[in-house]
Chains A and B, each alone.
Chain A
Amino acid sequence: MSYKIYKINEELKDFMPKEIIDLEEKATWGNPKRGVMDLPYTKELIEEHSLCAGCPESMALRYIIASLPNPEDTIIVNSTGCTSLVFPHIALHTVHSLFGNQNAVASGIKRVLEWRFPDKVKDVVVLAGDGATVDIGLDCTLQSFFRQEKITTICFDNEVYANTGGQESGLTVKGHVFKMAPKGKQWDKVPMWQLAIDSGCHYVARLTVSSPKRVEQVIKKAIYVAREVGPTYVHLYTPCILEIGLNSDDGLDEMRARDKERFAFFEYMTPQAEEVINRIKEEGLL
């Protein structure tokens, strides 16, 4: 593992701010059993960020980062959008490249890391908005599935282009009025989880982030399966409270309401994925 890149040289420790010393001393490194339950007790790998107060994307990010089984050797590839405002504050090696090319960049990174470090596990995780994953980046997303890239793709579905001020996306529900759909969206929400299954993903889950523990389970499964078998896809509902007119403390209720309908928990796995999941369960890693 690469924990050494967080270890501060003794001679210079006196000059380092507390947040950086805490990263070395109080974060969970080298422990695949880490998870959301550590959040109150350990140093988080996300510092302060600039999303809207109460934005469910920020919750999702915290749960995901807390659940990575191998953070010291995990690369996250991001895309343009609200999430990219959090990325500078994540204490991992991350990439923001262009809007929509995240799965292509991640494919290159994963393949080269496998070539450069044949004896090390380096997880590559993609994390991007619905516009990035399903609209502008759909080609790169699906093609990485077709090619069986060993990466985990996580879509933050807020059903809107949030960062550019609330335009209709392919994941907006039919009839909803957003900018650029002034008469309401004319066509159905894209069932991306189904496209992921049809395109060769070995583990697919759809859920809201109302339950941190459930997010943890899903993320761990997705990462272990990607590591050993092939592409995995996680579709998270992270409502844009700003664009649908909710208050900062309404996000959780909104997600709970959707838990019962269009974001009811759904999970799919291939037999190979199931084998991996059963094994890691036995090993106590889930």
Chain B
Amino acid sequence: MAHIGPSGFSPYPVAVYEGVLTPPPGKALMFNEIVDEEIAMREAAKAMLTRQNPTIFPGPQVLYAWNEEAKEKAKLVRKMAEVLGAKIIPMYDYRPKYPKINPAIEINPNHPNLTIWHNKIKACIFVGVHCHYANVALKIIRAETDCFTIAMCSMAGHEDAMITLRDQHVEEMEKFIKIAEEVKKELGK
């Protein structure tokens, strides 16, 4: 993503209008820079390990046991949370929820800022959220909060996140966990 701030007359900024697109295969996006995946992973781990109330937001694609990859990824999400000392707050579906969400325990793409405000989350990871909903939510978060957003996407990534990792499958998630362990050690945590 590029700068925080409004795009045109809408309060919801869109990185692509600042010339920032999803990263090409094999690369990652850090703010408005295309970088090697490993560099982005290190920075992502550092953000999660050093900012307040780091939280992982797992989406339906990893929450439910709908295929083998999802089952594997769920284990890795849990492990990742342990390594990063992060909370897990699920985005278990995308519905406008009635009468309201409970921001302490859930996050909803239609007003993700509520959960971030309530829990004072300063760094977060989106994983397993369908791309459209991740994008809708990330734009709102970017406009409404000072949370450092990290997208761990199994597809092409999300340019409105501050760090976006693309094509993240089991192997890549394992790599991230390993890097996070290293960074943690380096930080003396």
**Chain A contacts to B: CB under 8 angstroms:** 4-12, 15-17, 20, 47-50, 88-89
Contact = CB atoms under 8 A, between A and B. Distances in A.
Contact of B64 (A5, A17, A47, A89): A5
B105 A17 contact: yes
A209 to B, nearest CB: 22
Contacts of B150: none
Interface stretch (B6-14, B90-98, B131-139): B90-98
A5 B96 contact: no
Interface in B44-73: 58, 62-67, 70-71
Nearest to A20: B92
Interface in B75-102: 75, 77-78, 88-90, 92-93, 95-99, 102
Given A9-B71, A15-B89, A88 B97 contact: yes
B78 A11 contact: yes
Contacts of A15: 58, 88-90, 105
A12 B106 CA distance: 13
A12 B63 contact: yes
A16 B78 contact: no
Contacts of A11: 74-75, 77-78
Contacts of A50: 98-99
A8 B99 contact: no
Nearest to B93: A20
A17 B71 contact: no
A9 B95 contact: no
Looking at B62, B90, B105, the one whose CB has the most chain A CB atoms below 10 A away is: B90
Given A48-B98, A48-B99, A88-B98, A17 B106 contact: yes
Contacts of B66: 4-5, 7
A218 B118 CA distance: 47
Q: Say whether chain B's binding surface is mostly helix, strand, loop, or mixed.
A: loop
B81 to A, nearest CB: 9
A8 B67 CA distance: 11
Given A12-B62, A16-B92, 19 more contacts: A4-B66, A4-B67, A5-B66, A6-B64, A9-B63, A9-B65, A9-B74, A10-B74, A11-B75, A11-B77, A11-B78, A12-B63, A12-B77, A12-B78, A15-B90, A17-B106, A47-B97, A88-B95, A88-B96
A16 B90 contact: yes
23 contacts: A8-B63, A8-B65, A9-B64, A9-B74, A11-B74, A11-B78, A12-B62, A12-B63, A15-B58, A15-B89, A15-B90, A15-B105, A16-B63, A16-B90, A17-B102, A20-B92, A20-B93, A47-B97, A47-B98, A49-B98, A88-B95, A88-B96, A89-B95
A151 B183 CA distance: 56
A4 B77 contact: no
A10 B93 CA distance: 17
Contacts of B58: 12, 15
Contacts of A4: 64-67
Which 4 pairs across A and B sit closest by C-beta, in order of nearness? A9-B74, A88-B95, A11-B78, A7-B65
Contacts of A88: 95-98
A227 B131 CA distance: 33
A110 B105 CA distance: 37
B97 to A, nearest CB: 7
Contacts of A49: 98
Contacts of B63: 8-9, 12, 16
Contact of A8 (B64, B96, B98): B64
Contacts of B95: 88-89
Interface in B136-159: none
A48 B66 CA distance: 26
B90 A12 contact: yes
A20 B102 CA distance: 14
